[in-house]
Chain A
Amino acid sequence: MSEIGRLSILLAFLCSCFAVASIAWGLRTGMAGPLKSGRRAVWVVCGLTLLAIIVLERALIARDFTFRYVAEHTSLDLPPMYAFSSLWAGQEGSLLLWLFVLSAYGAAFLWSYRKRVDPFYDAVAMVVAGVMVFFTSLLTFVSPPFRILATPPADGNGLNPLLQDPGMMIHPPILYTGYVGFIIPFAFGIAVLLMNRTGTRWIEEVRRWTLFCWMFLGFGVLLGARWAYIELGWGGYWGWDPVENASLMPWLVGTAFLHSVMVEQRRGMMKTWNVALIVLTFELSIFGTFLTRSGVLTSVHSFTESNIGPWFMGFILISSTIAAALILYRKALLESENRLDAVVSREGSFLFNNVLFLALAFATFLGTTFPVISEAVTGAKISVSAPFFNRVNVPIALALLLLTGAGPVLSWRRVTASVLRRNFLIPLFVGVLAALGGLPIGLKGIYPIVCVFGAAFVVATIVMEFARGIQARKDVAEGRGAMAVVSLVEKNKRRYGGYIVHFGMVMIFVGVLGSSVFQKESHGPLQPGESLALGPYSLKLRGVEDKPVANAQHTRAILDVTRDGKYLGPAYPAKAMYFKSQQPMTEVAIRVTPAEDLYMILGGVNDDGSASIQAYLNPLVSLIWVGGIVMVFGTLIALADRMRLKREEKLGA
């Protein structure tokens, strides 16, 4: 079986090499034959990758321990669903998943443009195939997933208990759908430069692909945060860990691109900038994969020890050099058609949006790689952690929040004083009112106050925009109340979808504010019958019991939870001891309400029969997750907008 896997990867490597060469030849000579066979070769790569995934999954589920990868990451007592998801538990499998998602995007691309006879799309396919060459060669020569053991063990090493969680089943595939998806916008950008493509049709196409993977990436990041919250058991969801930063950086730059691309569509400006942004987003996706998968992060001392590190660095270096050279070579193509008329305008706000997003990404990048950079520059290894990121990124993020409110209601080109008054007076008033309202309930410090002001300000501008839109359409008189909102959104999906995304983002800001500034904590050893007080809650220990599950032994505390004297029910924070790894795992108990989460941890059971309990009160955490769903919903609405694409088609661009 393993030979089939190995062979299909090798053939995929050869096919992708052929695809690149064949399409390049076809583009050069203008012959249709090589273009066609090149595109077919990309299809073949997709099929072969699928075959390889099936072979490895079959081995994982069957626990075929002759496969080294299976022996390393599964065991006989592992539930089948986690055997399935252990495909992405290690480096080789993750890279195979990367290639698989890449193939899926390649296939989706080829299928969407199958009827189009235009060498431009062949050039896009060539870039995709080029990236396929890289990943198939990694899987063939450096990190092969189909290694066979000379003496297969009776049982495997088992899956890391931290990864035995439903969140870890869906988080990596969703994240990868985001990461890898940026290949298509990247390939479009490169193809535009290669083929000297003019017109704006490709921009609208790229915007749609970007929105799609941007949505998955953002959702994947949030799922990761949620996994950390539920599974890691330290009461928080975001620690500015390099793995988290790795996924955040491409999202930040991708967000910048999604905004500035509107300036290009509308005003024919910022063309070079946009191509550079899309290249950067893709490179950061690759860099993120490298960071999370190379083992670089398990120790800062091993930056150079990983076997795939130099390959990734080489790929990033080569691909970005090619992109930069092309941008310089096609300078004329990217000439701006207009100039900025005024700083206070829609264009101006997009510009600052971009500067701030890039500043966030840059600071995050710098902080993540600081030990390496500082060692190279000064010889001393300096590292920064959460305090650094909070200090630098929080003010930038708050400036972005304010801009979220201001930008969309500024008009293009220039803004008159009367527009400013009409659009800003009420939101400013609402913002100040909210901030003042927060003072009596313990809101203090400049950042939290700015955050509350900004959130209310943004929400007010969004509500006003909806109200104004409905008002303007009153003459047409299409429905009332909720129906009016629906028909308004339907008429301009992209715009109102965007507002919904902004609203989701505001929810996340408020959720982060609530759970970081207003978090409460309490801990102590409890004898049965004793209670721990936390805010309005009281946790009374009823007892401790042992409860075996499939592949672990759970020791759980039974806590009777009361709020303001009212009994709410029992909670079961536990410690799991996995048989295979003999590693204890905290299984937190969380009581979720819209207003606050009660987060309970069992530290352990002591010799005298008491249980060490730690509890957090995390206000407004739910807003973060709900905000994420709202963002996805808004993006889907914006994606449903096909009007622009049709219009561009009519213009024949």
Chain B
Amino acid sequence: MGSRLRLILISLVVIGSVTYLILSGVKQTGLHYMTVTELARAARPPEEGGFRLDGRVAIGTVQYDQKLPHLMFQMTDGKEMIGVVYHGLMPDAFGEGREVVVEGTFDHAARTLTASKLVTKCPSKYEAEGLGKDKT
């Protein structure tokens, strides 16, 4: 067997296994990104652990018991609301009006999501609000 042929064969094996890793990785760990409205209006509940919900913490809905710890709030995208329960410490950047991402199981009837993971978006863009117009 020529070295060129051998090289191509080995490369194909490498590329094949990487492709397999990627495809199976997506299949097993990929999560459906959903908005609150999409989840609230979905005809049937998405399969367990297969989705990730993106939205804001609704103002005036946060209840927190630090000792348990137990965190409850409503999540919204401006149109629909969904209740979220999370058994964990409140992350630093968590707060009313902040953008959060949750993963977990959704109880369709109760419109409540029990979160296994709660991530607050890193406020790397610390955007200013209310500074007014530019001078022209």
Residues of chain A touching chain B, judged by Cβ–Cβ distance below 8 Å, are: 66, 68, 71-73, 89-91, 147-151, 153, 157, 159-160, 162-163, 233, 241, 243, 292, 295, 297-301, 339-343, 348, 351-352, 355-356, 359, 362-363, 366-367, 370-371, 374, 380-385, 387-388, 391-392, 395-396, 525, 583-586, 603-604, 606-608, 610, 612, 614
Write out, one digit per residue, whether chain B residues 106-127 have a CB within 8 A of any chain A CB (1) or not (0).
Answer: 0000000000000001111111
Q: Which B residues are CB-close (under 8 A) to A233?
A: 92
Whether the pair B14, A352 counts as a contact (CB closer than 8 A) is yes
Whether the Cβ atoms of A612 and B131 lie closer than 8 Å is no
| Contact among B14, B69, B125 for A355, CB-based, below 8 A | B14
Q: What distance in Å separates the Cβ of A352 from its nearest Cβ neighbour in chain B?
A: 7
Q: List B8-54 residues whose CB lies under 8 Å from chain A.
A: 10-11, 14-15, 18, 21-22, 24-26, 28-35, 52, 54
| B32, B52, B66, B124: the one within 8 Å of A380 (CB) | B32
Contact present for B30 and A370 (CB under 8 Å): yes
Q: Is the CB of A159 within 8 A of B134?
A: no
Chain A residues within an 8 Å CB radius of B54: 299-301
Contacts of A151 in B (CB 8 A): 132
Nearest Cβ on chain A to B90's Cβ, whole angstroms: 8
* Pair A298/B26 contact, Cβ less than 8 Å: no
- Which B residue sits closest to A601, measured CB to CB? B89
Q: How far is the CA of A385 from the CA of B26 in the complex (A)?
A: 10
| A299 pairs with B121, CB closer than 8 A | yes
Between B32, B95, B128, the greatest number of chain A beta carbons within 10 A of the residue's beta carbon is seen for B128
Shortest distance from the beta carbon of A609 to any chain B beta carbon, whole Å: 11
Do B125 and A343 touch (CB < 8 A)? no
A363: which B residues are within 8 A, CB to CB? 18, 21-22
A343 B22 Cβ-Cβ under 8 A: no
A-B contact count (CB 8 A): 157
Task: Please state if B123 and A383 are interface contacts (CB–CB under 8 Å).
Answer: no
Select A604's contact among B34, B66, B99, B126, beta carbons within 8 Å: B66
Asked whether, in the complex, the Cβ of B11 is within 8 Å of the Cβ of A355, the reply is yes
B52 touches A90 (CB 8 A): no
Shortest distance between the CB of A607 and any CB in chain B (Å): 8
Q: Are A150 and B133 in contact (CB under 8 A)?
A: yes
Of B6, B30, B131, the residue contacting A383 (CB under 8 A) is B30
Distance A383 CA – B24 CA, assembled complex (angstroms): 14
List 24 interface pairs A-B (beta carbons < 8 Å), by A numbering: A71-B131, A89-B126, A90-B125, A91-B125, A147-B134, A148-B134, A149-B131, A162-B93, A299-B99, A299-B121, A343-B7, A355-B15, A366-B22, A382-B26, A382-B32, A384-B26, A385-B29, A391-B24, A391-B25, A396-B18, A525-B67, A586-B92, A604-B66, A604-B90
A392 vs B21: C-alpha distance in the bound complex, in angstroms?
5
Chain B residues with CB under 8 A of A71: 128, 131
Smallest CB-CB separation from A604: which chain B residue? B66
